Amino acid sequence: MLQVRDPSRGDSTARNRSEPIYPRGLLSSLKRELVHRHGYRDRATARRSIFEWFARYNTARRHTSLDFRTPDEYEAHYRYAAGTAPA
């Protein structure tokens, strides 16, 4: 089974400093909803599945912390309110 390393744990190696830092709740949801439920045969299958999960997380899944909007909807609303919406 593939192991998912949590980059938010503060590993101080030079390699890890360049990796993005994700909120722990996001990684916890990813692991709980996807990674721990599936036994992936190979890395390519796991990557594809995780990519699809992130796409759904940002475009379709509503979040209570964002007033029940998707992250994409929240960002569009924020940009519109700030006057920085793309033309």
**Pairwise CA distance, residues 45 & 59, whole Å:** 21
Asked if 70 and 76 count as a contact pair (C-beta separation under 8 A), the reply is no
Distance CA 66, CA 18 (A): 28
pLDDT for residue 85 is more than 80: no
Residue 71 has pLDDT above 60, yes or no: yes
**Cβ pair 40, 46 in contact under 8 A:** yes
Residue 7 has pLDDT above 80, yes or no: no
Residue 62 has pLDDT above 80, yes or no: yes
pLDDT tops 70 at residue 36: yes
Give CA–CA dist 31/25, Å, rounded.
10
Q: Which stretch of 9-13, 17-21, 22-26, 49-53 has the lowest confidence by average pLDDT? A: 9-13
**Rounded to the nearest 5°, which phi and psi values hold at 31?**
-65, -45
